[in-house]
Amino acid sequence: MIYVVIVFLWTSILLYILLGGADFGAGIIELFTSRANQPKTRKTMYKAIGPIWEANHMWLIIAIVILFVGFPVIYATVSIYLHIPLVCMLLGIIARGTAFVFRNYDAVKDDMQKVYTPIFMYSSLITPLFLGIIAGSAVSGKIDPDAGDFLSAYIFSWLNWFSVATGVFTVAICGFLASIFIIGQTDTEDSRRHFTRKARECVFIVMFAGALVFLAAYAEDVPLINWIFGDIPGLVAIIAASLSLVVMFYAFKQERPILLRILAGFQVTMILFAATYSHFPDIVLTRNGNNLSLLAHAGQSGSIRALGLALLIGSVFILPALVYLIYIFQVRKGGMEESPDRKHF
């Protein structure tokens, strides 16, 4: 049953990156769009991410509950040593949702609208930045349980080049996913060309950000190259992701939005698999070498069994409902276009 729980944990993290990442990416794309094009970009983004907005944070909640119930030692360690980036990420989630509601549903349209929109856009960038920092810190080996001062224990555990580079890479991934989602929701040929060009640009930004992660890993002595290229499964995953880029540019040329979404999801899945496979079952790598393992540091067998059963039973209800939610958003385009703000958010 422990492996069932681990699969659900990994899948929840993946789905949060894919669906929540596209959600955050909507604000990132809007942030880096010219002021003249922001209204059109905003409207199209609403249509693209409507189905995932309804449920994206569910995956984060599931991952947190799995860690809290099934792996309390790991949950406590991350919560203690990475509490600063965790708080920043949670504040970003709150600020983003609050700013969006006020900028769309405020009964009084005044100068405060000029405040809500920047908060929404910048929190859309800050939240995945700290999410990536947390992920990078967990495997950077910088968490020091033996630290004797505040800076070593709670600052340098996450404030390092590798963690920050991973955060930037996560931001780039979110923008990339959102740019891919938006192509299939355009209304005109000019808009389709515009957003296709932006999606191509995001591909190269992701590649550049990925190179920064490797450079930071080398500078911080994080064995990222060995993790990814040191074993057959990781190497195969990276080769598959790289080859799919060729197909992606073909899909750009042929204007195949569904294929583009599938390829984007596949690439992110392969990247996450390659980055986590080599050091499995260790999930938190510490400076003193006492790494935290999903197998060695799991909770009581009874808790794991109950958690696994709850996840299996819950998936029977959650997954079909999610598929149906996405389906109805796709087939009822007319209704969504009438009021995209209210329907989607």
Q: Is the dihedral of CA 239, 278, 214, 84 positive or negative?
A: positive
Q: What are phi and psi of 220, to 5 degrees?
A: -100, 5
Terminal CA-CA length for the chain: 37
C-alpha neighbours within 13 Å on the C-beta side of residue 127: 29
Cα–Cα nearest to 45, from 186, 170, 176, 174 = 186
List 292's β-bridge partners, or say none.
284
Q: Are 275 and 210 in contact (CB under 8 A)?
A: no
In this predicted structure, what is the pLDDT of residue 266? 94
Residue ranges for the chain with pLDDT beneath 70 = 46-55, 106-110, 326, 329-345
In this predicted structure, what is the pLDDT of residue 319? 81
Residue 157 Cα to chain centre, angstroms: 21
3-state class (DSSP) for residue 221: coil
Dist. CA 154–CA 150, nearest whole Å: 6
Angle, CA 9 vertex, CA 7 and CA 11 arms, to 5°: 65
Cα–Cα nearest to 14, from 60, 67, 61, 65 = 60
In this predicted structure, what is the pLDDT of residue 101? 76
Cα–Cα nearest to 171, from 179, 183, 159 = 179
Per domain, the residue ranges of the chain are: 2-218+295-344
Q: Are 45 and 30 in contact (CB under 8 A)?
A: yes
Q: Are 259 and 164 in contact (CB under 8 A)?
A: no
